[in-house]
Structure 1
């Protein structure tokens, strides 16, 4: 709200104070119960950042507590990847309270995070820093220059560099399902260089990789490392890995065969991956195990045609040092013993 020309000196002071709070307050996450994901500033302790869209209507009143694992107060990685994948790096730097403390506001203009008249004065009189040299609104046009430029704009390295240099920018985007295209397309606003002051913008389509459907990940943790398997089509052999304290993914050794929606579990520092492969590959490698210490894959023995099935595995879990596999029909349930390397049929549902 602009200050009315006839506003009194006191009212003008109140509005200046309001603007000062808006630009210098952020939420420190405790239990996450009182902080709204899309409406409160909570993504950074350096500036009041909120997530940028697109936002689904069912998530508009989501609170931070909904992104936490209820028992451990750690971040719920799969849920974040499904709702806020673009903000995973910032979120992982935030440490929620382990004691159940409530959320609180912090004053960003002071190292103590507490407001003082001195810090308020300096914040009010500070000169605004120079903006980034290349704004995101120019990315759509720049991506048309060459394939090299396009790859750079869509690279994760640029995202990480912006994060480290604190040059992230909120931007407006919209997803449209056009009648002549098989999948939705993302569009954003592009401001021509000579129209910046007039605030005139053109609606342009963003580079394709940034509006392609995001591939969901199946996450499994081993010690201080987090491993991820690609889900969905097309089939993939890719497995990613990163340290819990780092938000940068790197490629781990590929699986032996390409899989779609495989099941995975962890036992004794090893990741067991089953199912999701084509019928031809299933006969030789329906299941395999990854040793995180030696970083090598080993094919599991074939359970046989009676126990091996092509449908999605309903449940895969560890009980008593053995791997139990549950099928949707319940007629092909089995158990694998890593010590004897043998499969056995079971006739009860887990």
Structure 2
């Protein structure tokens, strides 16, 4: 927690080392401390304020502040296909009784493939396989639920869609499904 006394003198060498947040002129640490107190369900709106706020909302530093302050929240992540949009989209749902609404997750570059297999493990969700233009995929993507960021992982050995997946003894298994038939 950051506190200062009005009558205390600051060491000038410390002042120069602080990174200032360009949009507000405040030290970045202070901005992160304020953002950490904002509910995750409100962060989507807050990300529209500026590019700087949007980038700060996805930093590991913000998650560290939220953890230190006891401001982390349990959320349910949902992947929904809502017609007429052909692409499925990610949403979060808060477990707080007075805040039950779907909040879109900003998916910067990745949307799950049709018929992909998904499993939650650790701090995120693994999305494996699926169909692209009717053809099976071997892609594996990871959604980090703390920061709502996607990363590409090594592909599966076999392209497949509509497969079952699960976690056993800390390992992810994907079984069955369909592969392209080579004629």
TM normalised by structure 2 equals 0.47
Structure with higher Rg: it is: 1
Which structure is higher in RCO with an 8 Å CA cutoff and minimum separation 6?
A: 2
TM normalised by structure 1 equals 0.26
